Amino acid sequence: MNASNPVPAIEAIDVTKRYGKLVAVDRLSLKVPAGVCFGLLGPNGAGKTTLIEIIEDIIAPTSGTILYKGQKRSASFREQIGIMFQQTALLSFMSVQETLETFQSLYSTSHSIDQLIELCHLDDIRGQQNDKISGGQRQRLLLALALINQPELVFLDEPSTGLDPQSRRNLWDIVNTIKSQGKTVILTTHYMEEAEQLCDRVAIMDQGNIIAQGTTGELIRRHGGSTLVRLPHSCAAASLQSIPFECHETNHHFQIETDEVNQTVGALLKAGVDLTDMAVQTPNLETVFLNLTGRKLRE
């Protein structure tokens, strides 16, 4: 395959997974380019976990094919990838250093432990036992374990769940370093900001299939909808009645939907509306997600 049409790192072709009458993944096809961070998003029950476990070769599909670098996965595929599971049991009586050394011994090719400790900011806790480290430290250790076999393809399953903002951003910095090394990262997350920060491409999954994919910018342009201009009730309602577009009143504010923010602001100024407390909400990935999958809570 030539440079203008490179071989994907992962390709799912017409993949289906059934559990009795339940169809968890429904004839899904997907390509993950090499060297990118690819985000897989979706509400609970969308089929994300099932699809990821099929790609990771943890479970077999009912039908369909998974290709790795354009070929069917070999018996050594699992040794060539790194997986950071959302939940991993660690032996409490072992230290961080001992845990890394134990996992290192499982692979014929492995990363330098000192380099991993530096990359994942573990030097201060390398001698601590696993049950004595914080949530953020634990996530960085799990990421180091996912990288210990020098994988070209890394799976991160909701890596920052439960972390405080500082720990989350620290983890993001490490993921960005991994990306800069040319690795392919497949990320699942419920944090839309995380996907916007880390992912080069995003696929949104629902009811067992991909319903939209592209860069964040592409998805926002296609599915984000209008910009919202919000004004508090302290603005004079009479002034708003003179503006040449529709304005909706809620319990807390007046709201204008617009695709022309400059024209809207100009009209408000001309009408003498006080814009001191105006808020402008532009569409983002969360807007896209809710527009495509709905706003009803799913268990």
Domain 10-221: which CATH class? alpha beta
Residue 17 identity: K
Identify any residues that bridge with 22 across adjacent strands, giving them in sequence order. 19
**Domains of the chain, residue spans:** 10-221, 226-282
Res 215: pLDDT: 96
Binning pLDDT at 50, 70 and 90, where does residue 236 land? low
Instruction: Quote the pTM value.
Output: 0.88
Q: What is the DSSP string of 124-139?
A: GGTTSBGGGS-HHHHH
Res 252: pLDDT: 79
Q: What are phi and psi of 121, to 5 degrees?
A: 55, 55
Binning pLDDT at 50, 70 and 90, where does residue 162 land? confident
Give, rounded to a whole angstrom, the gap between the first and last alpha carbons of the chain. Answer: 43
Res 251: pLDDT: 75
Q: How far is CA 150 from the centre of its chain?
A: 22
What region, left, alpha or beta, does residue 182 occupy, with left being phi > 0 and alpha being psi -120 to 50 degrees? Answer: left
Q: What is the fold, at CATH topology level, of the domain defined by 226-282? A: Alpha-Beta Plaits (3.30.70)
pLDDT in tens, 56-77: 999 999 999 999 999 999 989 9
pLDDT for 126 beyond 80: yes
